[in-house]
Amino acid sequence: MPKELDMNKYARMFVSESGECLRIMNDSLLELENDPGNKELIDKLFRSAHTIKGMAGMMGYKAVQDTAHEIENVLGAIRDGHLQPTGKISEALFEGFDALDVMVASVEKGEPPQERPAVVQGLITVLPVRSEEEPVEAGSVPATEKAAVGRVEKGDKHGKKPTKETVTVVVKLGRRCSLPSARATVIIKELAKSSEVVESNPTEADIEKEAVFEELSVVLLPGDKLQEALKRVVAMSDVEHLLVGPTDVSRDKWQKMGRQDQASASVTAEVAHVQTVKVGMDKLDDLLDNVGELVIGRSRLLQKASTRDDYELLEISALIDKLTSDIQSRVLGIRMIPLDMVMSRFPRMVRDIAKNEGKEVELVVESGNIELDRTVADKIAEPMVHLLRNCVDHGIETVEERTKIGKRPKGLIRIVASKQQDHVLIEVSDDGKGIDFESVKHAAVAKGVMNASQAESASGKDLIDLLFRAGFSTKTVVTDVSGRGVGLDVVKRSVEELGGSIMVNSSKGAGTTFSLWLPFTLAIIDAMLIGIHDQTYAVPMGTIVETHKYEMSEVKLIRSREVVQLRGEVLPLIRMREFFGLEKVEKDSINTLVVQSRDRRAALEVDELIGHQQIVVKSLDQRLRRVRGISGGTILGSGKIALILDVESIIGG
């Protein structure tokens, strides 16, 4: 019996590939709205829609195929100059994109995509009315798509035939090409940028029907930049090689171009081609867990080897140490993803919320090529959504209000990410009205959180803390965006679960800035092991400035608090024995770790400095997560457990 195809496998592939196409479509639609005449954006949208349509056709997802087809029709009309991507046209494209997004999400859940007739009809409605001379039969390729592809089957629309002036390009596709029809469309469009396309084989109808073929033949009236176009075609991932030569000359005399010999075809620069393979996150998680155990095993091996006078054992342990570090670095690198991938979903969301609120808002994202561990990146998406909704709804004023007070009509929201030691700082700011502390006080009294006298004497920090309280909101009317008091509460909880922190700065009439401090990774970190009483603790190296030994005579009192001086800087002294409620021991001198969290520094007194070690971070039980001063745990080479100090909560205490 023939082996049955695993359709779940191909469905996962469809979701993965479609997700990338949808991301490109989302970004391109937003850019197109601000730059309606950009042909490259239209081409990019067309390619993405066509790829989704082709994959949906092979998988039998007719609802996806039909929607993508109508999006292509509208894009073709825009490309021909019959439509402008503004107003109703733009909205129809966004609705079509949303429909595709929902359908792909259904496939991911294992459900068949449902048809969206209203969306399809909306796309059809915005198309220009065709004349009777251009009938469109069911299942045929619309005229707009023909124009987009840029060729006809037998001679072009001007009646041109292959002549002595034409050249033929034959493109051989690789055996692993999963979407030959989509690739053929992209190749023809690329060639059409530099030359006039006369005809192709397979024909337009065959490509539309997803016909099986291994090579594509295109007849061209060559332009000045044909060689550059050929170079780009040869560099495409699914192209094995191509042949090019005069149409009336025998094929065996044509020139062959491949990646290895692009230079022979007047190519002055090589095109880098990086092969990629997609791996499920569950497999990477399992691999990281194994690497974590390997790191623990390495620590035990190094500890045992250091206690024995065995040169060969020391040599082997040193090799294992080096290999483990290399594997660990590579695995952590594989898990890192650009912050841009998280941020790319927000411009569309801000646009839609602003439109519903009757506001004009511009979102600027500066991610600085920063990468985060996939786990961290996934978990910050939700808090970022709530912060941006808060900025649009609570912060940015209406156009009329902004104009009245002398601000530019369009509000500005900025997301700026930067690297700060072993943390990433993400700042979300707006140029709106800022936090109205009087409104916060009134809401606090109305909800019974404070009485009138408490509210009147409350500091700015206390009032800001109220905004992060579950169920607290200054809005009196509940809307789809705000009013339930769950937004900032979710932000604070999510950030703290990641081992991060959040700060708020606000100026009335000038805007508000939310600063999120987040770790790059939650898996393996460098740490300094210290001893307090008879317990070993780990302090993240990213928080340590230096170590310093002080004589007791150098410890001073300022306002009943112990302090020490470090090169003229006064630092608060925190005795870790007292912090953990242990018995105080009198000493002539003390060992300290000078640590820093954000813009604050302090000296932590410890009993012993043990040394540097890479540790695998283990999360604490839910009941222990709120213990002040502790952020997690790790297993040492000896098999003992060491708790990881939370410098932020210790200093902030």
Query: What digits encode the pLDDT tens for the residues 245-282?
Result: 888 888 878 888 876 554 344 333 333 344 566 777 77
Q: Which of 72, 95, 190, 371 is catalytic?
A: 72
Residues whose CB is less than 8 angstroms from the CB of residue 285 and which lie 6 or more positions away in sequence, other chains included: none
Residues whose CB is less than 8 angstroms from the CB of residue 389 and which lie 6 or more positions away in sequence, other chains included: 349, 353, 481, 482, 487
Q: Does 290 qualify as catalytic in the annotation? A: no
- Report all structural domains of the chain as residue ranges with CATH numbers, in order of start: 1-144 (1.20.120.160), 150-260 (3.30.70.1110), 282-337 (1.10.287.560), 344-519 (3.30.565.10), 524-652 (2.40.50.180)
Query: For 291-336, what is each residue's pLDDT tens digit?
Result: 888 888 888 888 888 888 888 888 898 899 889 888 888 887 888 8
Q: Measure the CA–CA gap between 29 and 89, rounded to whole angstroms.
A: 11
pLDDT of residue 142: 42
Query: For 552-589, what is each residue's pLDDT tens digit?
Result: 889 999 988 899 998 888 999 999 998 988 888 888 88
Element containing residue 201 per DSSP (H, E): strand 196-201
Question: Average pLDDT for residues 119-137, to the nearest whole number?
Answer: 68
Q: Does 357 qualify as catalytic in the annotation? A: no
At residue 150, does pLDDT exceed 60?
A: no
**Which CA distances in Å does 540 have to 374, 527, 604, 630?**
20, 4, 13, 12
Q: Does 356 qualify as catalytic in the annotation? A: no
Q: Measure the CA–CA gap between 262 and 242, rounded to whole angstroms.
A: 11
For residues 342 and 374, the answer to whether their CB atoms sit within 8 Å is: no
Tokens linked to 240: 């094995």
Residue among 397, 398, 391, 403 nearest 364 (CA): 391
Dihedral of alpha carbons 298, 300, 304, 306, sign: positive
For residue 553, the Cα-to-chain-centroid distance in whole angstroms is 53
State pTM to two decimals: 0.61
Q: Measure the CA–CA gap between 562 and 577, rounded to whole angstroms.
A: 14
Q: Exposed, middle or buried by CB within 10 Å (0-12, 13-18, 19+), for 161?
A: exposed
Question: Average pLDDT for residues 499-520, to the nearest whole number?
Answer: 85
Q: Nearest 5°: phi and psi at 141?
A: -85, 125
Q: Which of 390, 394, 423, 648 is catalytic?
A: 390
pLDDT of residue 144: 38
- Residue 199 pairs with which residues in a beta bridge? 219
Residues whose CB is less than 8 angstroms from the CB of residue 395 and which lie 6 or more positions away in sequence, other chains included: 411, 413, 430, 432, 433, 434, 511, 512
pLDDT of residue 2: 41
At residue 138, does pLDDT exceed 80?
A: no
At residue 592, does pLDDT exceed 70?
A: yes
Query: For 360-411, what is each residue's pLDDT tens digit?
Result: 888 888 876 788 888 788 888 888 888 888 888 888 988 898 899 888 889 9
Mean pLDDT of the chain: 80
HEC profile for 157-176? CCCCCCCCCCEEEEEEECCC
E strands, 223-296, are 239-246, 255-257
Residue with tokens 């692993």: 176
Q: Exposed, middle or buried by CB within 10 Å (0-12, 13-18, 19+), for 278?
A: exposed
Contacts 24+ apart (CB under 8 A), 246-251: 246/164, 246/166, 246/167, 246/168, 247/162, 247/163, 247/164, 247/166, 247/167, 247/168, 247/219, 248/164, 251/170
Residues whose CB is less than 8 angstroms from the CB of residue 256 and which lie 6 or more positions away in sequence, other chains included: 241, 242, 243
Count CB atoms within 10 A of the CB of residue 352: 13
At residue 159, does pLDDT exceed 60?
A: no
Q: Which of 26, 50, 70, 394 is catalytic?
A: 50
Highest-confidence range of 70-79, 267-276, 278-287, 451-460, by mean pLDDT?
70-79
Between β-strands 336-338 and 371-373, what pairing exists: parallel, antiparallel or unpaired?
antiparallel
Residue among 613, 538, 614 nearest 576 (CA): 538
Tokens linked to 99: 């429909």
